[in-house]
Amino acid sequence: MDIEKDFSRNVWCLLGLPFDAITLEQTAIEILSAANERKSCFLSTPNMNFLCAAQTDNAFRASVINSDLSIADGFHIVLVTKLLGIPIPERVAGSDLIEHLYRRRTTVPLKVFFFGGEPGVGKLASQKINQKPAGLLAIGHYAPGFGTVDEMSAPEIINNINQHDVEFLIVSLGAKKGQAWIELNRRQLNAPVISHLGAVINFYAGTVKRAPMLVQRLGFEWLWRIYQEPGLWRRYYNDGKIYLRLLLCVIVPHWFWLNFIQTKQSDQTMTIKALIEAENINHISLTGCCTVHTIPPLREAFKKAATEKRDVVLDLQNVTLIDSAFLGLCLVLYKHLNASGNSLKLINPNKDVKRIMKWQKVIDLLT
């Protein structure tokens, strides 16, 4: 995704990860547009497993921050965003997205390639998709086995994928390995759209059945997955423990503060003052409220800072309040600066600002 579009994203921070406030239909439009224009789009679909794993795995968290779209694929994630006033409109599950693309009426299907899964599953999924004309056309599949990320990134494997006119590369290697593989190889791959969508290949192959809609809506899809794949119980058990701790120690205190402690800000304005302190440091001082209502001017300032390839220091000494929209935009800036070998630091936060940064799990990343 180009820098202009990246800094126009309606992106919010939740527990250290960026989430785009976007619907299923809007996500499909973005995917089709990127494929049609051959523009890079790394789509991440954080679910509860992503969110929990990112709390302790910095490389995994970075892979989500580095994505061009990050959609909320989880009932419990959407529930938490509603508690914290983050306007994620709906859950956008990766499997729902692929089904939406598959069922659309078109004479120009989106060309997909399956990478990963058990031997033979990619072939079954491709056959199922190609049984009748639809919005997707499976043009290839490759099962690399169960080696390391480096072993799965051999030149002959990348060349095999690139020999096909792939528009959407669907990766299925397990969340951490899949995200790491995409991060390592996406600049060598010709496919404009890439995403790790672990269970999609199994759903289409018929080796695993999707939970009934009522089960999904009630938030019990994880129980259905354990019923289908008993080996997943340990993952869900570990994720449940982490989620419960986050809920009690982070989410509930943040919700309580937002609803009963936070004082109303009478002055909902923000000013920006930027200067270059040294040859390689861009110092930006902010004053007032940095919230969804006041940050539009920051989009241009951050975009400019991202193109100048200097370290950026955001001075928050005179900032009275921040929110998840401000931190989401900071994560976009962090992504671009990190890609060019530069850093982003937020300094001099007051106690309320620092508290929000801790609750949103960015204090270690941005200070």
Positive or negative, the CA dihedral 70, 76, 79, 85 is negative
Per-residue pLDDT, 19: 98
Q: Which residues of the chain have pLDDT under 50?
A: none
Per-residue pLDDT, 334: 98
Per-residue pLDDT, 266: 61
Per-residue pLDDT, 279: 72
The dihedral formed by the CA atoms of 288, 366, 179 and 39, expressed in degrees to the nearest 10? 50
- Percent composition of the chain: helix, strand, coil (DSSP 3-state, to 5): 45, 20, 35
Strand segments, DSSP code E, in the chain are 11-14, 17-20, 41-44, 69-70, 110-116, 136-142, 168-172, 193-196, 270-278, 281-290, 311-322, 344-347
Structure token digits, residue 105:
């009426």
Alpha helical stretches, state H, 38-120: 48-53, 58-65, 75-83, 94-103
Per-residue pLDDT, 262: 87
Per-residue pLDDT, 277: 66
Per-residue pLDDT, 223: 80
Per-residue pLDDT, 91: 94
The dihedral formed by the CA atoms of 150, 194, 156 and 113, expressed in degrees to the nearest 10? 130
Identity of the amino acid at 157: I
Domains and CATH numbers, the chain: 3-232 (no CATH), 270-366 (3.30.750.24)
Strand segments, DSSP code E, in 84-192 are 110-116, 136-142, 168-172
CA distance 233 to 193: 31
What one-character DSSP code corresponds to residue 360?
Answer: T
What is the tens place of the pLDDT at every residue in 251-307? 999 999 999 988 776 667 888 887 766 678 999 999 999 999 999 999 999 999 999
Per-residue pLDDT, 160: 96
CA distance 258 to 94: 31
Per-residue pLDDT, 236: 81
